[in-house]
Amino acid sequence: MTTTPARTPAGQAAFAELPLGAVRPTGWLRDQLRVQADGLTGKLDELWADVGPDSAWLGGDGENWERGPYYLDGLLPLAHLTGDPALLAKAGHWVEAILARQLESGFFGPENNDDWWPRTVAVKVLTQHADATGDPRVEPFLAAWFRYQLAHLPGRPLHTWGRARGADAVLGVLWLHARTGEDWLIELADLLLSQTDDWEDYLTNHLITGRARTFDHLTHGPNVAMGLKTPAVRYLLDGTEERRAATVAALDNLERRHGLAHGVFSGDEWLGGRDPHHGVETCQVVEYMFTMEQIARIFGDGRYGDLLELAAYNLLPASCDARMTAHQYHQQANQVLVTVAPRDWSFSGDDANLFGLEPHFGCCTANYHQGWPKLVRSLWMATADAGLAAVAYAPAEVTAQAGGTTVGLRVETAYPFGDTVRITVDPATAAAFPLLLRIPAWCTEASLTVAGAAVDATPDARGYVRVERTWTTGDTVELTLPMEVRTVPRDRGALALRFGPLVLSHAVEEIWSALPGAPGLGDYEVRPRKSWNWALATSAGEGPAGWPVERRPVGPVPFDAAQPPLVVTAGGVRLPEWTYAGNSAGPLPESPVPTGFPIEDIRLLPYGSARLRITEFPQAALTYDPAVSH
């Protein structure tokens, strides 16, 4: 198993993934993966026929498209990272079934469905399996499949979903090329990209404004999330530096035209504009995370670690209940009613925001499992000069090659809920190598000590501090990333709030109701126990700088609203004129909103802990002097 960047004819990735299992979760992140393993992920094959024993991917006559591979794409890394024997056995059963059913031609998978797309997901699974186990069967299996593609793609090119998601197929080809160096694989990668939608042109020059009204693969939220990686993947093949700028421009366009208060673009299930009642599909969340992980690897730019954390620590936990027994199809930034009802979304069923087994459509039921495990794997990567780079921060242990020796890193932190990251370095023998530490763009006063001595924490142009020395056992690095409540301007004079990598939401007290006769572990509606329609009191003396911040120990269920690790008490003012519209929070009134209502305390929690929430707030203009008793 290699940890060196992929050999390509032109562009070289800045970082390389470590083998699956080289980074293992500890602390609150280990607890989160345990929650997932004990929740729907660990039981899905027993509850949902689409990934049950009749799956066509297992040789049965059941579901024969993407759902089996999707499920395995998260189940397999979760099993290896938790070491859970039952999950390892389940994942191994699927892998064996796939490896055993390859035809002499190289074709594999269900014979009654020849779509290219689901096999792309299966390739992602097999590369992870090989990285974790060293299974010698995977490389020849993939070589036979890729030769089949090279022979048949000219006459039967990528289409529909596969055409939109062609960059993901190229990643598998380059994985094998990194191990064999065979030129024909680059020929196949070029062919795949020639048949892939031109996301670079669309996202930089033709992106729609406002809500999509008809289906198009280029405006489908998960497709956009996957397509964003296309310029970076093209860079690996052609080395064209303009791909970096195109990626930034695409993200800026999406933020300007479809960005929501939590930091990810709308997609319910098509691009929907900037209003906070618009949703984000759970498939879009996990595919966006995978894309940010890949772009961070290829370009080595810290901005993509910032975006990865924003999605991972906010939208990912919000997509499920705290114990991960049910998920949503769409989540909303301003989510104040979770019920079976029509909503002003681009495209969805009436049940799309329920927490359940299969709300609206089963793609998210199969696909959301990859989010947490792939985040763990991507926390740290290898650098091209035999060092290690921190892509994102969370408690973890790392075992990797660096400086010509085996190195262990112990990362102790409560991040993103706390602001200190302590890293203990344990090389097998004393060795010189660099550690690259990402300094988030939101942090302006980072401080750093190495072996007890202060070090300049000013990041370079790509957002990293490089610490290079001869490391010996027990050397420590302590990075402090001070966090404070900060405001993010939104449309109509509204505000969003962030605290470090966390988005803050007013957590509306929740009433959960189980729907009768629901499949799986249950379907749930959620209604507010108290008023949700608050404006922020941001007048002089009442702004975020004066709001109390309470940090608490992270509990065994990290994103449980009943035991939040962070509570901010803000000043709010009731806005009774702001009401429901179409079973969602209505359009925000233009701010500032004149009001004579008193300032009251409202509780802000991390977005991922609040399943009912206001995240985009109007601002109140008080018609009285708050210094005078009211």
Residue 362 has pLDDT above 70, yes or no: yes
Q: What is the pLDDT of residues 513-571, one digit of tens each?
A: 999 999 999 999 999 999 999 999 987 566 798 899 999 999 999 999 999 999 999 99
| 134 has a pLDDT exceeding 60 | yes
216-238 residue pLDDT tens: 999 999 999 999 999 999 999 99
Query: Can you say how many angstroms the Cα of residue 517 is from the centroid of all Cα atoms in its chain?
Result: 32
Higher per-residue confidence, 8 vs 84: 84
Residue spans of alpha helices (H) in 134-240: 138-152, 160-164, 166-180, 183-194, 199-201, 221-227, 230-238
Q: Torsions phi, psi of 383, nearest 5?
A: -95, 165
- Contact yes or no for 532/277 (Cβ under 8 A): no
Separation CA 131–CA 624 (nearest Å)? 64
In tens, the pLDDT along 174-193 reads 999 999 999 999 999 999 99
- Burial of 133-148, coded b for 16+ CB within 10 Å and e otherwise, reads beeebbbebbbbbbeb
Percentage of the chain lying above the pLDDT 70 cut: 97
Task: Name the nearest CA neighbour of 329 among 376, 290, 281.
Answer: 281
Strand partners, 573: 535
User: What does the pLDDT average to over 331-336?
Assistant: 98
Kindly provide the residue ranges of all beta strands, DSSP E only, lying in 415-533, ordered along the sequence.
420-427, 431-438, 447-450, 453-455, 464-471, 475-480, 485-489, 495-499, 502-507, 510-514, 524-528
380-480: in CATH 2.60.420: yes
Q: In whole angstroms, what is the distance from residue 478 CA to residue 459 CA?
A: 15
**CA–CA gap between residue 526 and residue 544 (Å, rounded):** 29
C-alpha angle 472/301/75, rounded to 5°?
Answer: 80
DSSP letter at 312 equals I
Task: Summarize the confidence of residues 499-520 as an average pLDDT.
Answer: 96
Please tell me the predicted confidence (pLDDT) of residue 541: 60
Average pLDDT over residues 385-399: 98
Q: Can you give the pLDDT at residue 51?
A: 98
pLDDT value for 7: 42
pLDDT at 546: 87
> What confidence category does residue 42 fall into, taking pLDDT thresholds of 50, 70 and 90?
very high
Please state the φ and ψ torsions of residue 480, each to the nearest 5 degrees.
-115, 125
Taking residues 20-47, what's their average pLDDT?
Answer: 98
As given in the structure block, the two tokens for residue 60 are: 């049965």
**Helix (H) and strand (E) counts in the chain:** 18, 28
Residue 273 pLDDT > 60 = yes
pLDDT tier at 324 (50, 70, 90 boundaries)? very high
**Which backbone phi and psi does 455 adopt, to 5 degrees?**
-130, 145
Assigned token pair, 557: 């269920």
Expressed in angstroms, the distance from the first to the final Cα of the chain is: 69
pTM of the model: 0.97
Given a cut of 90, whether residue 1 has pLDDT beyond it is no
Measured CA to CA, the distance from residue 74 to residue 125 in angstroms comes to 8
Taking all residues of the chain, what is their mean pLDDT, rounded to a whole number?
96
Answer yes or no: is pLDDT of 458 > 60: yes
Residues 103-122: what's their mean pLDDT? 98
Least confident of 232-236, 319-323, 533-537, 625-629: 625-629
Q: Where are the domains of the chain?
A: 380-480, 488-622
pLDDT computed for residue 166 by the predictor:
98
Q: Which two tokens stand for residue 507?
A: 């957590």
Structure confidence at residue 9 as a pLDDT band (50, 70, 90): low
Q: Is 122 helix (H, G, I), strand (E, B) or coil?
A: helix
Q: What pLDDT is stored for residue 540 in this prediction?
A: 52
